[in-house]
Amino acid sequence: MYFARQNDSAFAPPSFRSQNGGVLTLGGLNTDLFVGEINYIPLSRSTVRNNSHFFWEIPLDHAEYGGRQFSMSTVAIVDTGNPFSTVPADLFRAIYGSLPGAVLSKTDEGRYTFPCSSADAQLRPLTVTLNGLQYTIPPEDLAFRTSASSETCISGLDPMDDRYP
């Protein structure tokens, strides 16, 4: 069984609007959809309980953003049911805090909002090292529109703070 998702072009940053969304395959692998090896990352803990929410927690060894290195021995939270993966707060601030027009959102706790034009012009690829393997997250996956007609974007990652253990 698999589910295919098309990007809702109204909510995607302008540079991402014409691209297709992702696919979730359950119970097997669709080898037509990838090239190379599948890399398995062991969980740090199978779940983290916080306010009745459960999260997948994986080790985060290292990150690089905009030429700045972040050496760390910490975790990231990933969840197929949430578009916002969680990263350490200092990495989060380095990505979003210096964007022109960026302000902490009053409605989305802990996230930044900023003009989508700033996201298109200023966001850079984020490279993370998980279980010794590097993965690059493209800039268009680091921001989302706040509404279909808005030119305001919101951070595509969450900061790991006191909401998460």
pLDDT tens digits for range 88-129: 888 898 999 889 999 987 776 778 889 999 888 899 999 999
> Residue 86 has what pLDDT?
80
Q: Residue 86, SS3?
A: strand
Q: Where are the chain's structural domains?
A: 39-160
How many residues are recorded in the chain?
A: 165
Level-2 CATH architecture, domain 39-160: Beta Barrel (2.40)
Please give the average per-residue pLDDT across 147-158, as a whole number.
85
Most confident of 9-23, 42-56, 72-86: 72-86
In the predicted structure, residue 32 carries a pLDDT above the cut 80: yes
